[in-house]
Amino acid sequence: LVAAIIMPKLPPLSRKKNVLYDGSLPNFNEESGQTDHSLKTGFKLATEKATSQSFVKRVFIDGVKNVLDMWLGVIPVVMAIGTLALILATYTPIFEILGLPFTPILNLLGVPEAAAASQTLIAGFADMLLPSVLAASIENDMTRFIVASVSVTQLIYLSEVGALLLGSKIPVKFWELFIIFIERTLITLPIISLVAHLIF
C-alpha cells in the first residue's frame, strides 16, 4: 500500500502523461456523471455490459480465445525468461555482482546473512519465484521471510508482468520497468525489515 501511494510521485511514473494508451484523454465524466459514486457507476456499467452479451456462446468463445492467447502467447515467454534466469543464477555470479549494492543496505537494516540475501533482491526482476530458490541456502528465518516478502511486493517480473507490459501498446520501456522495480524494492525493503524485526 505504501509503495502504491509513493510510486506515482516518483519518476518514471510521475513523468507519464495522464492519457490512454492510444494517446487520447480519458473522459470519466462522459460515462459516469460527476455526482455518481464509484460503486453505483461500476454496477451500472457492469449491468450494461451484461445485457449487451446476448449469447452465452459468444462469451464462451471469447473466453476460449483469451485462454489460448495466454497459453500460446504468454506462457512460452514466461518459461523462456524463467529458465534463462535460473541458468544465470545457477551457473554465473551475475546476480551476486548486481546485488552487491544491496548488501550495505541490508546490513544497515540489521538483516542477517545480508550478502546471501542481496543477490535475491535483484533476481526478483527476472522472476518472482527465483529469489525463493536462491534463498534456499539461507539459514536464518527472518532473512528468508524478508526475501519471500520483498519478492512478492516487487511486482515487476520480466517473466510475467514485465513481458506483458513490454508486449502491450502501453508506452513503457525496459529501463523504466527496471527503475520501477528498484524503486519498489527500496520502498518496501525497510518496511518489511521492520515487520520482520517485530516478528522474529
Band (pLDDT 50/70/90 cuts) for residue 29 is low
Q: pLDDT tens, 47-94?
A: 887 777 667 777 788 888 888 887 887 788 888 888 998 899 889 999
What is the pTM for the complete model shown?
0.77
pLDDT at 33 over 70: no
Core vs surface per residue 119-131: b (16+ CB within 10 A) or e: bbbbbbbbbbbbb
Q: pLDDT tens, 104-127?
A: 999 999 999 999 999 999 999 998
* CA dihedral sign, ordered 64, 66, 69, 71: negative
Rounded Cα–Cα distance for residues 124 and 132 (Å): 9
